[in-house]
Each structure stands twice: as structure tokens, then as C-alpha cells.
């Protein structure tokens, strides 16, 4: 009887050659895709009071121009801001950082949360929840409850 014996090196290569593709397939099938637009599991949208507390500047106004990630805003009212209060603001950080803040055309009114660094106005984000609130009856009522607004 003739025995056929494979060298040890050859057996090792065969084992590695089979195990590597199998382990790669197992690893890749267990990876779940990340969704940038979804909040982290268990996270909650900040309350309006929390957002106001976290942002150095809070104001409402109408978007008059959209250019890439920068909005030009005609400010109607400041609710929180030290120092000068310009009537027109160029606010950066939109249309790329959050699925909540995709503003593609002018004309709508929002409540904005911002900061200023080196004379550049930037959006202040609440994770995946964005840096604006729609200007509507709910927002107005919340601002009134916080004592930040008289009857409008």
C-alpha cells in the first residue's frame, strides 16, 4: 500500500488558505452599517431650555440666502446674545453635519442656536438633532413658558 503524505508546510498553507476567507466572511456579515442621520441609541433630543443653555447665541430669523454650508439670515429677534446684535448674520455649518439641518432654499423662519469664534458665526448642534428649531406655535409657546418671550 502506497501512502501519500503531504509536507507540513503544505497542510499549514491549506488550513490558512481556507480559514482566512471563512473568517473574513463571518466578520463582514456581522458588521452593521452606521447611519449618520440616526441619533445614538438611547439618546434624546435636548429640551429647548437645554439647547438655550448650551448655546451662547439664540435668535430667530428668516433665511434669505443659502450658499453651500452657509445661511444668510435676517435676524428678527435675539433671545440670548452678549455684545453687538447684527441684523444680518452669515451662519456656517448647515447642509452637511446633520440630516435635521438641510436647508436648501431661502424664505423660512427658524430659531437658531449659534456661537461666534474669530468673528465667524457657527451653528451649535444637538448631536444628530440639529441646530435649529422650526419657528412655529410650539416653539413660541416653549419660549413663553421659559419667560423668554412676551405675547407675540
At 142 the three-state DSSP class reads helix
CA angle 105, 45, 85 (to 5 degrees): 55
What confidence score (pLDDT) does residue 32 get? 46
35: its cell numbers = 447611519
Model pTM?
0.70
Per-residue pLDDT tens over the stretch 11-58: 666 666 666 666 665 555 544 444 455 666 777 778 889 899 989 999
Residue, of 101 and 123, whose pLDDT is higher:
123
**Among 133, 118, 116, which Cα is nearest to 50's?**
133
In the predicted structure, residue 101 carries a pLDDT above the cut 80: no
Amino acid at each position: 500500500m502506497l501512502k501519500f503524505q503531504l509536507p507540513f508546510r503544505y497542510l499549514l498553507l491549506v488550513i490558512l488558505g481556507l480559514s482566512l476567507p471563512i473568517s473574513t466572511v463571518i466578520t463582514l456579515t456581522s458588521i452593521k452599517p452606521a447611519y449618520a442621520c440616526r441619533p445614538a441609541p438611547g439618546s434624546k433630543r435636548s429640551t429647548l431650555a437645554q439647547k438655550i443653555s448650551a448655546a451662547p447665541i439664540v435668535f430667530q430669523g428668516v433665511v434669505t440666502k443659502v450658499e453651500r454650508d452657509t445661511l444668510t439670515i435676517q435676524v428678527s429677534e435675539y433671545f440670548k446674545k452678549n455684545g453687538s446684535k447684527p441684523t444680518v448674520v452669515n451662519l456656517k455649518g448647515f447642509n452637511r453635519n446633520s440630516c435635521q439641518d438641510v436647508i436648501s432654499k431661502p424664505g423660512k423662519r427658524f430659531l437658531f442656536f449659534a456661537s461666534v469664534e474669530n468673528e465667524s458665526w457657527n451653528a451649535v448642534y444637538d448631536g444628530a438633532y440639529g441646530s435649529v428649531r422650526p419657528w412655529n406655535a410650539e416653539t413660541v409657546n416653549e419660549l413663553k413658558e421659559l419667560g423668554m418671550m412676551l405675547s407675540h
